Amino acid sequence: MAKIKLTETQKKAEWKAYMKALNEAVDTIFNTASAVGIDDKKLARMANLSLKTVTRLCELQTRFPRFQTVWKLAKALKMRITFTKGPASMIHDVFNTKKKKGKKV
């Protein structure tokens, strides 16, 4: 299989798309938390993150959130976050997962 060589412009475009997707995921996570009555302090505790980290994300003070942090927040709310990378684009999908009795989804 041949490797696709990206130009610097393409690399920057992919990075920008990835960061946009992460930030959209953060928005979805905080909107979900707010809808179910979970504040920053409780979400931080649920995700095992510092309150400062969660507050900075919530207030959009963090320009480049780490995937691990976003993943922990999603997991705390029983959400799943999936990023799919294509040759020239990155797409994200954040959605609720439903647990069935005795089965992991």
Residue 2 lies in a domain: no
Radius of gyration of the chain (CA): 16
Residue 1 falls inside a structural domain: no
Query: For the chain, how many structural domains are there in total?
Result: 1
Please say if the pLDDT value at position 92 is more than 50.
Answer: no
Q: Residue 49 domain-assigned?
A: yes
Query: What is the residue range of 66's domain?
Result: 8-96
How many Cβ atoms sit within 10 Å of the Cβ of residue 58? 20
For residue range 3-32, what is the model confidence (pLDDT) as tens digits? 566 688 877 888 888 888 888 889 999 999
E strand or H helix that includes residue 84: strand 79-85
0.85 surpassed by pTM: no
For residue 3, tell me if it sits in a domain: no
| Residue 71 belongs to domain with CATH number | 1.10.260.40
